[in-house]
Copies of this chain bind each other. A is one copy, B any other.
Amino acid sequence: MARETAEGKQASLTDVAALAGVSHMTVSRVINGTGPVRAETRVRVNTAIEQLDYRPNSVARALVTGRSGTLGVVALEVNLYGPASTLSGIEHAAREAGYATTITSISRPGRSSIADAVERLRRQAVEGIVVIAPHVTAGRALEAAPGDMPLVAVGGGEEAPVPVISVDQYDGARRATEHLLGLGHKTVWHVAGPEDWLEGLDRERGWRETLERHGARVPPVIRGDWSARSGYAAGRSLVGEKGLDAVFVANDQMALGFLRACTEAGVNVPGEMRVVGFDDVPEAAYYTPPLTTVRQDFVEVGRRTFDLLRRRMNGGEERARDLVVPELIVRESTGIS
């Protein structure tokens, strides 16, 4: 079986039709299950399809139907744990719904780079676009987004001009901060993410307002870039600070760096310093000490993102901001030891 036409070219509907002795439309009907076909004919057609190893040409189909069956994802830094997991969730949901996923990444966020990426995808005839770029500039770039293309964002802020699926960063930060306050600390310090990341800003706001709500002093913020290196640097400059015995670090990688700095400085965690991270990367449970952190369900975010996008592709107009609730995972870095 699986013989191809003599020239080695892909067989077309017409080839199959000729071999089966029917019209190309009958073949089309067999393939798509549209319209009635006599059982005997169906068998003949299917045999011909197998003999020629025929596969439908999705490009031709897309041209005539106007639907490419493809969605596009614009991603920033796909090798970060969060974005990669989200992408994975989106791709999975899309695949189950019969959509292919085209990605295009951007090295540095910015109005034009995001707009370029969207334009590239649009040229690729995607039916909808997901932007994974939780950046303040991303929000602005999306304002200029074309109105005729369904587009949703992951992790955008409240003011985003497009529908957004996001983990509730604010609430996660609140939980982390209250957990530390609940352990009896006078206040909680914060190693924040970059200024232009919405998620970082939300976490920072959640931390700050929680402190204020509890009447705690708000210490100065140290800012990192999400990397362990920057967390380490923050730790080096912070350790020894007066009244510093509890820190909420804006992600797990930076928390790891912070822990490292504590270790080097001979500061015992959690004895003299308690640390909470954010994300719950799979390694967090094996840090020294195991890290208390806020778990984000990225795969769920990806799933919901696709669902929302699909509703929009089908003409839905909802602008809601859908929040996934995070969960605090308590480990030794805030335990009693």
| Segment of A14-22, A50-58, A168-176, A322-330 in the binding face | A50-58
Given known contacts A102-B101, A104-B91, A288 and B286 CB-to-CB distance under 8 angstroms: no
CB neighbours (8 Å) of A101 from chain B are 102-104
Cα–Cα, bound, A91→B56 (Å): 26
Using Cβ atoms and an 8 Å threshold, which residues of chain B touch A253? 282-283
Across the interface, A58 reaches (CB within 8 A) one of B105, B124, B259, namely: B124
| Contact assessment for B79 and A68 in the assembled complex, using a CB-CB cutoff below 8 Å | no
| Contact, CB under 8 Å: A105 / B79 | no
Q: Which residues of B contact A87 (CB under 8 A)?
A: 78
Q: A62-B59, A63-B60 are in contact. Are A256 and B68 (CB under 8 A)?
A: no
User: What per-residue 1/0 map shows which CB atoms of A309-321 lie under 8 Å from chain B?
Assistant: 0000000000000
What is the distance, in angstroms, from A290's C-beta to the closest C-beta of chain B? Answer: 8
Write the nearest CB–CB distance from A35 to chain B, whole angstroms. Answer: 22
Mark interface residues in A239-276 (1 if CB within 8 Å of B CB, else 0): 00000000000000100110110010000000000000
Partner of A100, one of B60, B104, B229: B104
A228 at the interface (CB under 8 A from B): yes
Among residues 183 to 231 in chain A, which have CB atoms less than 8 Å away from a CB atom of chain B?
A: 227-229, 231
Known contacts A282-B227, A288-B288: does B58 contact A125 (CB below 8 Å)? yes
Please, how many residues of chain A have a CB less than 8 angstroms from a CB on the other chain?
A: 55
| A38 / chain B contacts, CB cutoff of 8 Å | none
B residues in contact with A125, CB < 8 Å: 57-59
* A102 touching B102, Cβ below 8 Å: yes
* Chain B positions within 8 Å of A259 at CB level: 286, 288
**12 A–B pairs (Cβ distance < 8 Å), ordered by A:** A55-B123, A70-B102, A70-B124, A78-B91, A95-B104, A100-B124, A102-B102, A228-B286, A256-B286, A256-B287, A263-B288, A288-B288
Apart from A229-B282, A287-B288, list 13 A-B contacts with CB within 8 A.
Answer: A8-B148, A58-B125, A59-B59, A69-B124, A70-B102, A70-B124, A92-B105, A100-B102, A101-B103, A103-B103, A228-B285, A259-B286, A260-B288
